[in-house]
Amino acid sequence: MTSALRRALGAAAITLAMAGVAAAQESTNRVATITDWNVFVEESPKECWGVSKPKETVNTRDGAPVSVRRGDILLFVTFRPGKPGEISFTGGYPFAGGSTVKVDVGGSVFELFTDGEWAWPGSAEDDAALLKALKAGSDAVISAQSGKGTQTRDTFSLRGFTAAMEDAGARCK
């Protein structure tokens, strides 16, 4: 697959994912809280997801801490009937153009592609590898750069992650 085709497919996928993520943020259909993760279900169309906010956020510019306003900072895994979990991240700001987001889980680093305020793995295989690492890890550190040059580092607890993903996946079979 050419990189242009991959980017076009990625842009289409993120458009679909953004609609689901927007619904996730507005949903009142929380069905479970498992330690640091929440599980939500929507019936039409059927979607189930686990989501969490970071436990720690550090913002820097030129190596010095800065105070910045950010929107919601959320890490999602979304399930749809018959499909494996899909990971997405919103950093609460537009990412720097052409940048990637780094996810460090226990020393294993994964790269997410960005579009606007959203980031996601580049393939189903990348989703599966990251999901496996998240299930085995204790925390995930997500590093990114805003369009204004701010470096961000968000640390997510993975306590309850595996149970929440099993719950969300089972609800969307």
Q: Provide the pLDDT for residue 137.
A: 97
How far is the CA of 8 from the CAs of 4, 34, 117, in angstroms?
A: 6, 36, 17
126: which 2 tokens? Answer: 């990348």
Domain CATH code at residue 153: 2.60.40.1880
Pick from 1, 49, 57: nearest CA to 24: 49
Q: Provide the pLDDT for residue 7.
A: 36
Please give the residue range of the domain that contains residue 131.
3-171
Regions of the chain short of the pLDDT cut 70: 1-27
Does the predicted TM-score (pTM) go above 0.85? no
What 3-state DSSP class applies to 168?
Answer: helix
What 3-state DSSP class applies to 91?
Answer: coil
Question: Rounded to an integer, what distance in angstroms lies between the CA atom of residue 71 and that of residue 53?
Answer: 11
Question: Rounded to an integer, what distance in angstroms lies between the CA atom of residue 27 and that of residue 129?
Answer: 28
Q: Provide the pLDDT for residue 28.
A: 75
Question: Rounded to an integer, what distance in angstroms lies between the CA atom of residue 60 and that of residue 54?
Answer: 16
Q: Provide the pLDDT for residue 138.
A: 97
* pLDDT tens sequence across 80-130: 999 999 999 999 999 999 999 999 999 999 999 999 999 999 999 999 999
**Number of domains present in the structure of the chain:** 1
Q: Provide the pLDDT for residue 6.
A: 35
